[in-house]
Structure 1
Amino acid sequence: MGEANETNLERINNQIISEFSKTLEMFSLNKTEAQLFVTLYLHEKPMTLDEMKDSLGKSKTAMSYAIRRLQEFNLVERVWQKGVRKDLYETREELYRKFMKTYVNRWLSALNKQINNLDDIQDNLTRYPDEHQEALKHKIHEAITFHHSLEEIFTNIKTNDFLRKDV
């Protein structure tokens, strides 16, 4: 009976990891990063790379790369425990806020880059007059306006109360 319960619990745990990681993939995490984050999130104590590797059935190199990416996104942190010589990692608190903040900042950064690139194209276009220039200028202007609209939306989300830590 105990073994059947363990198998059911493991199956349910795997389902949670699978479904939750699909959501996290929408935040531009790859499948391994998403699965690792959920595994760390569900685990009651910090994990070593070897434990992560064994839990997910992936290579230690894949776990090392994924944990570095999760650290870059400020979603996990390395922790210390007395008597443990290996690095330990755990998820950071405030899951929703961390994901949204990371996601919004990545969008704003990408939008800013695209706006700058489109502005450069627009500037270069005026140097080469021809009969199609006006149509292209109009299309570029529409693209820049679209990007500015998205930038405004994400800036509003960023400044909204639910992303501020002090709320």
Structure 2
Amino acid sequence: MKDLEGLAPEQIERISKVRERVIDSIGKNMDLYGVTLSIGHLYGYMYFNQGPVTLDELSKAMGMSKTSMSTGVRTLLDLKMIDKVWGKGTRKDLFEVSSDWYQNFSDYFSIKWRKAVESNMNVLSKALNELRAMKEEYGGQEELNSLLHKDERKIEDAIKYYRWLLKLIEAMETGKIYDLIPKEE
């Protein structure tokens, strides 16, 4: 890394070891949230890098193929954890880490949760419509009607939860979450 140039070899080694431990920890943490360990390591490396980097630089530094780097960078871009930036005098794409961990957390979970909520709400809505159609079709069967009613209530409870989760997602996207749980300064 550029910021280590000019330091004594033993200083470079010690700083590098500290950074490697943190990078590994970031990778393991991101793995818990469904991001591969290697993409977590890529983010960690970029976090400590001083300024934007190209895919070629990342590939060389990480010892991974340019294709793997491209996939990792695309994932981090989609999760809004890195940004594509402009660099004077270069034709290559440059990428830089978004170092606001609070925003990274909010963006990551908002993206993932919103996708899951929309999918689940769609399934629940269809299921609810099917149950209601069955109630109309078999309205005179008391035992079946009772069972359908109980299932309908359970699905309605799930829908209420997902509407609440959408409010949480919105609070994260707008930053209102920090009114409830302030960032540490």
**Equivalent residue in structure 1 for 2:156, among 120, 136, 141:** 141
Cα distance between partner residues in 2 of 1:48 and 1:31: 20
8 Å contact from structure 1 (residues 75, 98) kept in 2: yes
Q: Secondary structure at the match of 2:96?
A: strand
Match of 2:87 in 1: 81
Cα distance between partner residues in 1 of 2:89 and 2:171: 46
Q: Which has the bigger relative contact order, CA under 8 A and spacing at least 6? A: 1
Question: What per-residue deviation string (whole Å, max 9, x for no partner) do you get for residues 35-87 of structure 1?
Answer: 21221121002212122122222221111011112222232222333343432
Match of 2:167 in 1: 152
TM-score by structure 2 length? Answer: 0.72
**Equivalent residue in structure 1 for 2:48, among 35, 42, 55:** 42
CA pair 93-10 structure 1, distance change in 2 beyond 3 A? closer
Cα distance between partner residues in 1 of 2:172 and 2:105: 13
Match of 2:77 in 1: 71
8 Å contact from structure 2 (residues 46, 96) kept in 1: yes
**Equivalent residue in structure 1 for 2:59, among 49, 53, 56:** 53
Cα distance between partner residues in 2 of 1:73 and 1:29: 10
CA pair 84-154 structure 1, distance change in 2 beyond 3 A? closer
Match of 2:97 in 1: 91
Cα distance between partner residues in 2 of 1:86 and 1:101: 26
Cα distance between partner residues in 2 of 1:150 and 1:161: 13
Q: Secondary structure at the match of 1:84?
A: coil
Match of 1:112 in 2: 118
**Structure 2, unaligned runs of 5 or more:** 1-7, 180-185
8 Å contact from structure 1 (residues 108, 155) kept in 2: no
Q: Secondary structure at the match of 1:44?
A: coil
Q: Which moved more, 1:117-126 or 1:103-112?
A: 103-112
% same residue:
24
**Structure 1, unaligned runs of 5 or more:** none
Match of 1:18 in 2: 24
CA pair 156-89 structure 1, distance change in 2 beyond 3 A? closer
CA pair 155-41 structure 1, distance change in 2 beyond 3 A? same
Work out the number of aligned pairs and report it. 162
Cα distance between partner residues in 2 of 1:47 and 1:81: 10
Cα distance between partner residues in 2 of 1:50 and 1:9: 24
